Chains A and B, each alone.
Chain A
Amino acid sequence: MSIIIRGARLIDPSQQLDIVTDLHIKNGHIETIGNLTDVHAASEINAKGMILSPSFVDLLTYLRDLNQIQKGSIASETKAAASAGFTHLCPSPDTQPCSDAGSVISMINSKVVAAGFCDLLPVAALTKDLKGTQLSNMEALSHAGCIGFSNASYDIDDNNVLLRCYEYAATFGLKVFVQAQDQQLGGGHMHAGSTATRMGLDGIPVIAETLSISRHLQLMQHTGVRGHFSQLTSAAGVEIIRLAKAQGMNITADVGIAHLCFTDTAIEGYRSQYHVQPPLREESDRVALLTGVKDGTLDAICSAHQPHESAAKCAPFAATATGMAVYDMLVPLIQRLVDAGDLTWTQAIKALSSNSATIAIGQTTSLAVGGEANLTLIDPNHSWILNSSNQLSRGTNQALANQQLKARVKLTIKGGHLSYTM
């Protein structure tokens, strides 16, 4: 298949590339970059005013399959991911059944392959059934293709177990993914602040995050395991990571797109669409998270996409399920940050693509000639309204439903083939 994309703004942070030109894809690879006025292909796309970047890699998502079909299927959610510019996904291991065995991982992978929209970069459970008592077969799972290990949102209480998890992972050079939130202090329903106090909702204090990050950092330093922190939420958390990196620790961190865009005040009026874990915090935290992305303290942006059926969000706030369906609004949210001057597209692409790929598989994505064509083409000026007829995720928990949005993925290319087209 031969495709020429004409006149797009090519952004590739790995090569410090930012030019308006043409790009030719042939036989699954990037054939040429430059003025291709005289060259023609079977498929040609006029991409004037659009942004072409390496495709995105999602470090945290929830595909809901296998036993949560009412929330989403691998087919529906990987398609939605492709529509957000992703070609590679790292689903959370808290699947049903749990991703703690090669058989489960391979079942998920076969469904992802059959759907054909994205490739799986599996993160397996750190402990069996995520119970925090017994190690998973990490070495075997890594041979089966798992790129890392995580206990999802389940904190491991027992320091002996956590220490051994890290010692064992370090033995084989494996990477651990951590969602740092102390289980006891994290028992509330939203950020502990003035909004929670007024609404009478139990709060989750910032120290639930910082205490947990510090604990994991100590154990990582002690064992030498390679660690990645998922979904930071607070200014204080970002500062701890910044200091740890300055001290030379081999760690990385990401932030969920929701935490870059929303704060706890969005919950005002008990709006369950904004009920997420870890919680949305205050404006000063959001600003610190953005600074973290810009100065590289936070390497990546993940979606933390969590689709739900409508009943899951239709109850008194505390009884509603946590999480936001993100894929259908991810690119418009980035565009909002760009329009507000909070982030540039280059910074966003670095965090969504080159850095997240490096964290997941140890090598960056790029637009290098000769490389595999994994690309995302974004129309930053496309104006549209997200609604149930055009959303691709099965999740009805769309925070921006029926709102006027700007920017949309025009097409996503995986391995030289169109995996999504608007």
Chain B
Amino acid sequence: MSNLANLQLTDDGQLRHFLTPEGLDRLMLERILDTADSFVVVGNQEVKKVPLLRGRTVVNLFFENSTRTRSTFELAAKRLSADVLTLDIKTSATSKGESLLDTLQNLRAMHSDMFIVRHSDSGAAHFIAEQVTPDVAIINAGDGHHAHPTQAMLDMLTIRRHKGHFESLSVAIVGDILHSRVARDQIHALKTLGCTDIRLVGPNTLMPHAIDSMGVTTHNNMDSGIAGVDVVIMLRLQTERMASAFLPSAGEYFRLYGLTTERLAQAKTDAIVMHPGPINRGIEIESAVADGSQSMILHQVGYGIALRMAVMSMAMSGQMQQRQALALTLNPSRLTGEPRP
């Protein structure tokens, strides 16, 4: 855990990579949310650009398809005035390791400043950060079933903007926890931000081993699971889960775990409903709920850009500081004002 935190921070505790909220302290997560809050305003301005990343090169390194996440990162980078290069790289199943390393070496040689990484293997962003440190800042845009920290943090931003705090909240996360890269990060972030009642709702086939060790409670029954909660986070269900025998049918899943108006009535009256999108109407969530007044789904999309702008600018700034510190160590004359040899 500590080594994850260390890898993400500069020597003086600034964010330099954003791989997972795990290991980051409350102050850091709040700083991310505060910065994101300030960027929400930028999105409402007529001119939506700020010059924070001018002259910097951001490479979208997507080893796995994701139009939505990729576009929001691209938009966030452009609003920060960065030069953006987007690469879709299909991994070869036989020699993933070599080809990934080779790709990284090449991109590094192009003097990129930041990689936005999406990969189907858990730990891929971590691996890439280890390989490219200290030259390039890494933002994890989703790795395997491990983490999707910008999605989790935009969910935190949504909760904070609409609930104001985390301490006394009850939050239910419903659905395919097992395959969700967001759920783990949501749990880490919620706990760090002070939330103590986190409930996971779903059948045993979609519940990871020993998940209660993360300080959550598990519920097989949707009605009791969401009873009295302030926030309901619905997870997307991949349709291939039926073919791989995790579930019998979409119909049965919706009957047991779909969020309907009647079911939502079990939660607090002012409960908010969130979903990372894209939503499967009639499988995870009823249209009336998705489009209803308690739904935050479209807000989440807007906050997503602000949140990504926040972590990109913070990590870039941390990375630059670290590079300058390193340059000073290697060439102290720059500090003392002595002429260079």
Interface residues of A (CB under 8 A from B): 192-194, 196-203, 205, 268-270, 311-312, 314-320
Contact = CB atoms under 8 A, between A and B. Distances in A.
Contact of B123 (A194, A197, A203, A317): A317
Task: Report, as a range, how many residues of chain B touch the other chain.
Answer: 20 to 34
A316 B209 contact: no
B221 interface: no
Given A269-B3, A269-B4, A269-B126, A201 B211 contact: no
Given A194-B209, A270-B126, A311 B98 contact: yes
B146 interface: yes
B143 interface: yes
Contacts of A314: 97, 101
Of all A-B residue pairs in the complex, the 8 with the closest CB atoms, nearest first, are: A200-B146, A315-B97, A316-B121, A194-B213, A270-B123, A200-B145, A200-B122, A316-B124
B1 interface: yes
B198 to A, nearest CB: 14
Nearest to A205: B209
B127 A317 contact: yes
Interface of B: 1, 3-4, 7, 22, 96-98, 100-101, 119, 121-124, 126-127, 143-147, 181, 184, 208-211, 213-214
A320 B122 CA distance: 12
Contact of B122 (A312, A315, A316): A316
A194 B214 CA distance: 8
A315 B126 CA distance: 10
A198 B214 contact: yes
30 contacts: A193-B209, A194-B209, A196-B209, A197-B184, A197-B211, A197-B214, A198-B22, A198-B214, A200-B123, A200-B144, A200-B146, A200-B184, A201-B146, A202-B145, A203-B209, A268-B1, A270-B123, A270-B126, A314-B97, A314-B101, A315-B101, A316-B119, A316-B127, A316-B143, A316-B144, A317-B123, A318-B123, A318-B144, A319-B96, A320-B97
B122 A197 contact: no
Contacts of B213: 194, 197
A193 B181 CA distance: 17
A45 B181 CA distance: 60
A194 B212 CA distance: 8
Nearest to B98: A311
Nearest to B97: A315
Nearest to B146: A200
Contacts of B209: 192-194, 196-197, 203, 205
A205 B127 CA distance: 25
Contacts of A196: 208-209
Contacts of B4: 269
A146 to B, nearest CB: 32
Nearest to B210: A194
A199 B3 contact: no
Contacts of B127: 270, 315-317
Given A198-B214, A316-B144, 16 more contacts: A197-B213, A199-B122, A199-B146, A200-B145, A200-B147, A200-B184, A205-B209, A268-B1, A269-B7, A315-B98, A315-B127, A316-B96, A316-B121, A316-B143, A317-B123, A320-B97
B44 to A, nearest CB: 35
